[in-house]
Amino acid sequence: MEKVPKKVLMRWFRYILLFLGCYVLFFLMVFNYQDLETEITKVASQQGAYLQFNDLSLGLFPTPSVQLKDLVVTLRQTPEIQMDEVVARPHIPSFLAFKQGVSTDIKGFLGANIEAQLKQTGVTEDNQPLFAFEADVSGLNIEEALSTFAPTLRLPLIASGQINAVVKGSSPQQMDRNTESEFSLTSNNVNLKNIVLDTPLGPLQMPDVKLSQLNLVGRLVNQELIIEESRIGGDGDLVRARIKGQVPVDFGRRGPQLAGYNLKVEVRLSSQGVNEIKARVGDVFGLLQPYQTAGGSAPTYTLNLQSSSMYRPPRINKTTF
């Protein structure tokens, strides 16, 4: 068989590329973007999310993708969440296995960039699709997140700084009691302001605190958020703490809600931290004495905080960590 000259092969290769380029251009010109926009908002509304966006475009290389810009998402019982850009593409291994799956890149979600994957792995006991998810979050703005979700979290403080997080787990199509996950959070240079503690004598304003580090590891299982390991503050900080325990999660019609807590907290104060707190609260500082487990100029306090609601003052008992 006569060998085809290389120049002929290259010529035909260029023809094929030209044909594919013309085909792609024709596809983009005749594609009905309005129908796609309608379908995207329809599918989202079926899941309880309402979308608005300024621009929608398609990408074909290296894999087909949909790009949304200036996206605004509204969920039940939550305020609007804005994102600069969302790019979604098929999760290739799931696609080849004829299962649902998507990979997503998000920019500008509460100041963060997120790389996420969602893929179907099976079905639940009641024959609902079961998905595995994984997300890598970089640069989440703490102050923006707290102000956005303040009505849900009801935290007695203002915080600033950035958080990096890794979250992975499994969940049905609608998050419920079968949702399980594990997570880790890390941050440097976190500032806590306007800290108000509920005490037997009423609300108590605490001094502002700067933390050089924040590390938190936990998991969600059996409708409980379990904090397994934490380190709050570094050696040179006024306050250092460790926290572990459980936070029940109620998966009701309004979505996941924190339903109380049972936490062990170990707090270590530097000598400067003791002086600043005493200067702010005076004799009320003595309320901590029953929970002191180590003395000296830098005391340690270990407390067990329990409450059946995020909106009620906790029961406080001395404990061991």
Give tens-digit pLDDT for 169-188: 988 876 667 788 999 999 98
pTM for this predicted structure: 0.74
Give residue 96's pLDDT: 62
Burial of 10 (0-12, 13-18, 19+ CB in 10 A): exposed
CA–CA dist 287, 293 (Å, integer): 14
Answer whether 262's CB lies under 8 Å from 269's CB: no
User: Which residue ranges in the chain fall short of pLDDT 70?
Assistant: 1-48, 60-61, 76-78, 92-98, 150-157, 174-176, 194-205, 253-255
pLDDT of residue 278: 79
Token code pair at residue 208: 């502002």
- The pLDDT value recorded for residue 26 is 47
Quick: pLDDT tens for 99-136: 777 888 999 999 999 999 988 887 777 777 788 889 99
Extract the tokens encoding 193.
């302001």
- Residue 110 half-sphere exposure toward CB, CA atoms < 13 A: 23
**Number of DSSP helices (H) and strands (E) in the chain, helices first:** 6, 20
Which residues are paired to 243 by β-bridges? Answer: 265
Which residues is 7 bridged to in the sheet? none
The torsion angles phi and psi of 247, rounded to 5 degrees, stand at -130, 110
CA 45 to chain centre: 22
- The Cα 249–Cα 224 span in angstroms is 6
pLDDT at 208: 77
Amino acid 164: pLDDT:
94
200 phi and psi, to 5 degrees?
-60, -20
Q: Is 290:318 a contact under the CB 8 Å cutoff? A: yes
- Asked whether the beta carbons of 106 and 114 are under 8 A apart, the reply is yes
Give the Cα separation of 321 and 301 in Å (integer): 10
